[in-house]
Amino acid sequence: MAQGDREWYTQFVCDSVARIREITGSARAIVGISGGVDSTVAAVLVHRAIGGKLIPVMIDNGLLREGEIDFVVSSFEGLGIDLRVVDASSRFLARLAGVRDPEAKRKIIGEEFIRVFEEEAAKYQDVRFLVQGTIRSDVVESGTSVEDVEEDAKQDTGDQRPAQLVKSHHNVGGLPEQMDLELLEPLRDLYKEQVRLVGEELGLPKPLIYRHPFPGPGLAVRVLGEVTQEKLDILRKAQAVLDREIIKSGWYDRLWQYFCVLPDVRTVGVKEGGRTCGHLVAIRAVLSSDAMIAKWAPIPHDLLDRIALKITEEVPQVNRVVYDITSKPPGTIEWE
């Protein structure tokens, strides 16, 4: 049975479920859900094995897109999984107040996430495992040598069993070092495309499995400079318009990522005969296969025209829209 076969994924799920049950016994496990593909597939796989003994937690850091929590919660509901949402948005925003440096923002968001997650985990008894959606590329990026991974890959056989489910040391994904939990990483040996096929095997809806990546620090790296509630609200509204137009046009599946950026630049405009001083919104849309290199996407002019029109019509604080025509390199995908 080769890894490209449907049966391989059926077998993978079956073997993983058995192994996870064997490893966890009667203990409970906790998982942080980001809304991304990897944590979702890992959670659903572990839920298949241990049901209600898995505690899935989603932290609302106040930096998510409009409708994101509802989308993820209802997707999990559809799979019969009760997702707990922790609203920590005011904590994150308070800690970000006055901070302009992109790396400082990332650090604060990472630290705060750990704190909130630890506080949440401490509320439950008998939690012994932390589930993470670590995949093979994370292992390579986190310092395990490429040779190790390639050596592992050579040993992959058609009927390979999920061998390395538990790693005793912490920690690839940035979760608490000092938490006394064992790491359960059921997707550690898989590449992204394989994770998606496991997701299909588990019956996850396609919009969840084929979502574009979204950065952990969320909209904080798309509101340039200081993050404020007001700027987040403007960016969220503009992003919702962009989402609607990109999906309607059929471009979603052709793009690697697309998003709005609020560079905190005011420009002069004109509306109903009077001058305005409004925000500039930049649109970024790229083609890529791994985010290492990316080409700006040749979105048709009439679609760009419609996006600019709709954003300026529907988001009153915005009076100018520009399109980013920089590839990576020399640009990065995100602006911060």
CA distance 132 to 32: 8
CA distance 25 to 266: 58
Sequence-separated contacts (24+) of 95-100 with Cβ below 8 Å: 96/220, 96/226, 96/227, 97/226, 97/228, 98/226, 99/226, 99/227, 100/225, 100/226
Nearer to ligand XMP, 238 or 294 (CB): 294
Nearer to ligand XMP, 226 or 334 (CB): 334
CA distance 272 to 70: 37
CB of 291 to ligand XMP, least distance (A): 4
Nearer to ligand XMP, 176 or 213 (CB): 213
Burial 303-327 (b: 16+ CB within 10 A, else e): bbeebbebbbeebebbbbbeebeeb
CA distance 144 to 182: 19
Interface ranges with ligand XMP (CB under 6 A): 106, 213, 215-217, 221, 257, 291, 328, 332-334
CB of 334 to ligand XMP, least distance (A): 3
| Beta carbons of 197 and 9 less than 8 angstroms apart | yes
CB of 333 to ligand XMP, least distance (A): 3
CA distance 235 to 259: 10
CB of 203 to ligand XMP, least distance (A): 26
Pairing outcome for strands 266-271 and 295-296: unpaired
CA distance 13 to 271: 58
Nearer to ligand XMP, 101 or 148 (CB): 101
Sign of the CA dihedral with 211 first, then 216, 220, and 222 last: negative
Nearer to ligand XMP, 106 or 310 (CB): 106
- In total, the chain counts a number of residues equal to 336
CB of 256 to ligand XMP, least distance (A): 7
Nearer to ligand XMP, 50 or 283 (CB): 283
The residue type at 12: F
Nearer to ligand XMP, 107 or 161 (CB): 107
Nearer to ligand XMP, 176 or 331 (CB): 331
CB of 74 to ligand XMP, least distance (A): 23
CB of 184 to ligand XMP, least distance (A): 21
Reduce the DSSP state of residue 137 to 3 states and report it: helix
CB of 215 to ligand XMP, least distance (A): 3
